[in-house]
Structure 1
């Protein structure tokens, strides 16, 4: 057993995840019953990540703020600007792709599939929810993984602890480090968890239900790939004035893969923090920007909202002019910030976007139902883009060069 553990540790996390992915596909395809049974491993892995993420964010932010030295530079503001700008560019990309490849939705499903879901009634409700999350009870925020509330309370308590004794601040730092060790332990099981997630997905769906939505998925995933491989690298290159692709691919490989299968930006926060630490980024920065990114950096969500909304408009024969498309992009950018960091969080914002074109709510909810059908691919790709971009933009704001970050990461491994 000891030899097996040593081999497991020597192989490295990413190669093991790829191996787990391949084995999971084979088991789900050849032995569906075993694949469904192995789904428990995936459920346990995602559950462990979701359980530890809120307390990790709270402890790290509180520790970073309480021990922050006056004059020490952090880079939160430029990261937030990149988050918003990148989400807006994603929304515009989705509009452009929808115009170039107009898609119609065939065979709308019954709204009963999403009858228990309650979409926001308007943009005001989305923004009000975000603001109310800031003043949520701290215990409730931790229990419900409300990251806006967790960040707010961690910042407040962290600033208050700056007046505490040195021993108290050391204790807070030790607690944050202990929780980080727990996170690293959970992440070490990622290959096994992903094996279970993939085996269960292939066994249950086989992707048969997706054949009728091939063009819709092509536009969705194609837009997300364009953002990940073209737009994001351009932003990084402009900021860093270096070849961005080594960093882009590292973020996609070490953050995007796990996010693809967990389908939750919130659950991927521990993975991103682990990667940021390996890259040698400033903890005062990433301890704030990464959980914040899981809430407001939603390029994939903006793409989903726009593509499905415009597909509904094309299906109903509604003409969409340039002004309306631009307004849709702004609404999608703001609305995406209200998308929860959980699977399917962006879909319930589609009725809000559809209201811009006077599309009836019952039809909009049928579009949401289609979103749940294709969610096995759409939501996975969306989360992979969102979560990997959190780390990418945080690293981009760091004054260190890409070469320095990658060498630090290699040394950490």
Structure 2
């Protein structure tokens, strides 16, 4: 047994996760009723990630900022620029694809009890109020904008504290980081449970009626992940971007695909940034911030489903309105919550741009929930993996500018 465990631990995490996925699929197809208890592993894994992430971000940011050395620059401006460019281009790709491959919907119900935001001002207002949220409430509700705000302010205030106080926060940060590593090592079992539950609960037959819509949605997401993002990375670092992009998709995207939550994937991304030897002062802020505002996948979902509703109703769209939709989808996506289905409730906001009534827009949201088993999973995988890609890109670009050797995917 010891030898078996030793051999298991010697396998890379990605290989262990793939084994877990295969076992989950086999159990779901062969003995779904007898193996129902397997799904609890998935719920426990996601619960553990969501539980540790807020505390990890809070202490990591405080420790990083309080111990920040004067004169040492971070790359946050570059990262924020990359987040904005990436999200905008994702919205542009989605709008272009929707005109090239127009899709009409069979509208459905199922989202009537939900209340979407009334406008872009309301989305931005929610973000601003999250900034001034009570710190205890922010930690309890995983409000990462609020957590980051308080952690940054406390970190700045503690820069004049004694070394022993700073060491205490650094020790807490290291201890929680170790907890995260333990949780991530359970990913193969957790993903086995998530795969089993997804197949048994949802199946794939419900998705066949929306095959063309899914092709456009997922095609846009894969295009952004494998073409647009690599081009952006190459323009910044002038080196082959695919080792970095593919590693991020492999080590961050897979877990994000099954957890369907950018917030739950924060510990995974933090761990990957550590493996890539990135600056802790930077990624401790950029990763949780990215989980909140870097939403390329959400921009694609909002634009594609909105234009599907437009095509269904036979509404004519001029170039100017299409460009406004690109901007609106990018800005709205930044306000989407980092939880499963967070982008869907912003569709009525985009639909209002074309005069589509709210009751029709909510039927489009209902379609989104039906295809969510794939749409939301791929959206989260793109969003979360891109956080790591752009954080690494900003650091590599800085090294290149300083004339230092850039090692992509060390």
| Bin of the TM-score, shorter chain as denominator length | over 0.9
SS of structure 2 residue aligned to 1:390? helix
Q: Aligned match of 2:139 in 136, 139, 142?
A: 142
Q: Do structure 1's residue 200 and structure 2's residue 203 form an aligned pair?
A: no
1:65-144 aligned at under 5 Å gives the runs 65-106=65-106, 108-110=107-109, 113-144=110-141
Which whole-Å CA distance do the structure 2 matches of 1:210 and 1:33 have between them?
Answer: 23
Which whole-Å CA distance do the structure 2 matches of 1:278 and 1:89 have between them?
Answer: 28
Which whole-Å CA distance do the structure 2 matches of 1:405 and 1:65 have between them?
Answer: 26
Q: In the superposition, relative to structure 1, how do residues 403 and 6 fare at CA in structure 2: closer, same or farther (>3 Å)?
A: farther
SS of structure 2 residue aligned to 1:105? coil
Structure 2: gaps spanning 5 or more residues: none
Could you tell me which residue of structure 1 aligns to residue 246 of structure 2? Answer: 249
Could you tell me which residue of structure 2 aligns to residue 329 of structure 1? Answer: 326
Could you tell me which residue of structure 2 aligns to residue 406 of structure 1? Answer: 409
Q: Aligned match of 1:348 in 330, 345, 349?
A: 345
Q: Aligned match of 1:294 in 287, 291, 295?
A: 291
Structure 1: gaps spanning 5 or more residues: 408-413
Q: Do structure 1's residue 380 and structure 2's residue 377 form an aligned pair?
A: yes
* Residue correspondences, number: 404
Which whole-Å CA distance do the structure 1 matches of 2:292 and 2:385 have between them?
Answer: 13
Which whole-Å CA distance do the structure 1 matches of 2:126 and 2:97 have between them?
Answer: 31
CA contact (8 A) 1:351 1:365 kept: yes
Q: Aligned match of 1:320 in 317, 322, 341?
A: 317
Could you tell me which residue of structure 2 aligns to residue 162 of structure 1? Answer: 159
Which whole-Å CA distance do the structure 2 matches of 1:35 and 1:316 have between them?
Answer: 45
CA contact (8 A) 2:243 2:408 kept: no
* Residue 3 of structure 1, CA deviation: 2.6
* Residue 24 of structure 1, CA deviation: 1.1
* Residue 31 of structure 1, CA deviation: 1.6
1:181-205 Cα distance to aligned partner (Å, 9 max, x none):
0000000000100000001111122
CA contact (8 A) 1:255 1:271 kept: yes
1:180-259 aligned at under 5 Å gives the runs 180-259=177-256
Q: In the superposition, relative to structure 1, how do residues 117 and 404 fare at CA in structure 2: closer, same or farther (>3 Å)?
A: same
CA contact (8 A) 1:59 1:172 kept: yes
* Residue 73 of structure 1, CA deviation: 1.9
Which whole-Å CA distance do the structure 2 matches of 1:403 and 1:40 have between them?
Answer: 43
Q: Aligned match of 2:360 in 360, 363, 382?
A: 363
Could you tell me which residue of structure 2 aligns to residue 279 of structure 1? Answer: 276
Could you tell me which residue of structure 2 aligns to residue 304 of structure 1? Answer: 301
1:303-362 Cα distance to aligned partner (Å, 9 max, x none):
000000000000000011111110001111111011000000000000000000010100
* Residue 403 of structure 1, CA deviation: 5.9
Q: In the superposition, relative to structure 1, how do residues 205 and 61 fare at CA in structure 2: closer, same or farther (>3 Å)?
A: same
Could you tell me which residue of structure 1 aligns to residue 7 of structure 2? Answer: 7
Which whole-Å CA distance do the structure 2 matches of 1:46 and 1:359 have between them?
Answer: 37
CA contact (8 A) 2:276 2:409 kept: yes
Could you tell me which residue of structure 1 aligns to residue 24 of structure 2? Answer: 24
1:30-70 Cα distance to aligned partner (Å, 9 max, x none):
22224543111100000000000000000111100000001
Could you tell me which residue of structure 1 aligns to residue 47 of structure 2? Answer: 47
SS of structure 2 residue aligned to 1:117? coil
Please report the RMSD computed on the Cα atoms of aligned residues, expressed in angstroms. Answer: 1.1
SS of structure 2 residue aligned to 1:40? helix
Which whole-Å CA distance do the structure 2 matches of 1:4 and 1:353 have between them?
Answer: 54
Runs of 4+ in 1 over 6 A off after TM superposition: none
CA contact (8 A) 2:25 2:195 kept: yes
Which whole-Å CA distance do the structure 1 matches of 2:159 and 2:64 have between them?
Answer: 10
SS of structure 2 residue aligned to 1:349? helix
Q: Aligned match of 2:148 in 143, 148, 151?
A: 151
Which whole-Å CA distance do the structure 2 matches of 1:361 and 1:264 have between them?
Answer: 26
Q: Do structure 1's residue 393 and structure 2's residue 390 form an aligned pair?
A: yes
Which whole-Å CA distance do the structure 2 matches of 1:290 and 1:154 have between them?
Answer: 14
With normalisation by structure 1, the TM-score equals 0.96
Q: In the superposition, relative to structure 1, how do residues 368 and 157 fare at CA in structure 2: closer, same or farther (>3 Å)?
A: same
Q: In the superposition, relative to structure 1, how do residues 36 and 214 fare at CA in structure 2: closer, same or farther (>3 Å)?
A: farther
